[in-house]
Each structure stands twice: as C-alpha cells, then as structure tokens.
Amino acid sequence: MNEPREIHLHDPQTLYRHWEEGQWSPWDFDLAGDREQWQAMADRSLVTFVLGSLIVAEERITTKFFGLVGAYGSEEEATFLATQQVDEAKHMQFYARFQDEVVSEPGLIAAHVRRAREQVSPAFRTIFDEKLVAAHERLLSDPGDLEAKVAFVTIYHQVLEGTLGLTTFEFSTRYLEREGLLPGFVAGYTKIHHDEQRHIGYGTWFLREALAAQPQMAEVVRATLLDLLPAVAESLTPPEGADSSVLGASAEELREFALGGLTRRLKLIGVAL
C-alpha cells in the first residue's frame, strides 16, 4: 500500500498563500470522453455509488461550514477559512457539473443530491445529517466556545475530510486509473484532493495549537472520535449489491488505510486513541 504523503503543518497564512497559487475551475476539464465511456459502461453500480456519496457529502460539507469561518482566532485564520468555504462550494459545483454532463440531465444541485441520497447508508446519514449538523449548530450558537470548535474540527477535518475523504479518493482513483475510466473526472477529483490536503493541514495545525494551549482539549478530540468511529467503520463498507471486489481492495485494506492516516495525524496533534 502506498504511504500517504506526509502532512506538513503550515500556519493559516502559508496555507492561504498556497490557495492563491493553486486556483482552478470546475470547467477546466473536458468531460466528453467521460460521457461516451459512461454510456458504454456495463455495470455502473459501484461508480454511481461513489459519485453519489461524493455529491451528497460535498453538499453537507459546503453548507455546514460557515460557523467555523465565524469562529476564527486571527485575521490570518479568518482569511484561510474563507478560502476553504469557497473550495467546498467549488467541489460541489464540480460534482454537479459531472452529473449534468455525464451521469444525468442538467438540473439543480438539489435535484442531483436528492437522487443520490436514495442510495446512502444509515451510517452515512448519522455522520453527515446528525453529528456534523449538531456540531455546526453548537459552534454557530457560541463561536467563542473553544470546546465546540475543537469538536467541530475533529469531525470535519479529521474524520470527514481526513478519514472518509482521503480513503474514498485513494481507492476510487486507484480503481478508475487502473481501468482507464473517466479521465476527466479523475483530473477534477485530483484537484479537489489537493485542496483537501490543504484543509486537513489546517485542521491538524489548529488542533495541535489548541491542545498545546489547553491540554484538556485532548479529551474532547478523543471523545468526539470514539463517538464517530463505529459509523465511520460502517460507512467504509461498500454497499450491498455493489461488487466491491472490482475495487481490488478488501474492506480490511480500506479500514487500515483510513485508520492509519488518522492515527498518524493524531500523533502530530498529541492525542493517543
């Protein structure tokens, strides 16, 4: 298994400068070849599942983020968080464009999300509709509450982006590249992945700073993770009916990859699970 690239802990100002240097548009990619391949594909179930999960997750991640922008600790952090808000909306737009031009007919994002939601698992709903929403509302109601901010960043940056997101990217692009499938999608998804690494870098930086200032916050990180891990493990299991063997990776390998990365970041933050 490839070792994920090491995560460097840049401060928000450096991360903002990286954002300025890495601009891209969801319309940079030619999807005509992807559409031809899609129409000729015999079994679309697994790819449909992955694409659906991505657009549903990205809608949640875009609309349940602004509470963190308002909970900034410095002007530099406020700047970086504003860029992350834009990135998430851009990612949602890329997945929606892919639905418009390859998978389905052009429609509003809400229509694509509604269709994709029919296939997501109960564990997925627990994570994105209950835990994330509750943590976001708590932070919105009191942006100065450090414990609420630590819990939110633990869920959002460490679990959703760092664990579910990186794992989904690793195994689905491995599969698509091996099969020579959907090159336009892979090119856009790779840009998204670079953005995500910047976001996860911020989340790891923030938690390390918060725990250095207030060591008792380690308990908040630990409790938040323990609360979420059963649903995370469940949602990393491919759906019933989808032929997961075509992925070329076992459920075990998926979980190992996911938890290995999380454990390495927790070490940087100063938390042992």
Q: How far is the CB of 160 from Fe ion (least distance, A)?
A: 8
- Give CA–CA dist 148/155, Å, rounded: 11
Cα-flanking dihedrals φ and ψ of residue 173, to 5°?
-75, -35
Q: Residues for the chain: how many in total?
A: 273
DSSP-assigned letters across all residues of 128-163? IIIIHHHHHHHHHH-TT-HHHHHHHHIIIIIIIIII
Q: Which is nearer to Fe ion, 18 or 35 (CB)?
A: 18
Q: Which is nearer to Fe ion, 161 or 170 (CB)?
A: 161
Buried b (16+ CB within 10 A) or exposed e, 119-144: bbbebbebbbeebbeebbebbbeeee
**Nearest C-alpha neighbor of 183 from the set 98, 106, 110, 119:** 98
- Give CA–CA dist 131/228, Å, rounded: 8
Q: Which is nearer to Fe ion, 41 or 78 (CB)?
A: 78
Q: Which is nearer to Fe ion, 15 or 249 (CB)?
A: 15
Q: How far is the CB of 41 from Fe ion (least distance, A)?
A: 25
Q: Which is nearer to Fe ion, 77 or 88 (CB)?
A: 88
Q: Which is nearer to Fe ion, 21 or 252 (CB)?
A: 21
Q: How far is the CB of 104 from Fe ion (least distance, A)?
A: 21
Q: How far is the CB of 22 from Fe ion (least distance, A)?
A: 13
Q: How far is the CB of 272 from Fe ion (least distance, A)?
A: 26
Q: What is the DSSP letter of 216?
A: T
Q: How far is the CB of 17 from Fe ion (least distance, A)?
A: 18
Q: Which is nearer to Fe ion, 34 or 59 (CB)?
A: 59
Contact 205, 11 (CB under 8 A): yes
| Tokens 């996911």 -> residue | 258
- Give CA–CA dist 20/40, Å, rounded: 39
Task: List residues near Fe ion by CB under 5 A.
Answer: 88, 91, 161, 196, 199
Name every residue whose Cβ is closer than 8 Å to that of residue 226 and which is 6 or more positions away in sequence. 273
Q: How far is the CB of 187 from Fe ion (least distance, A)?
A: 16
| Tokens 């960043």 -> residue | 153
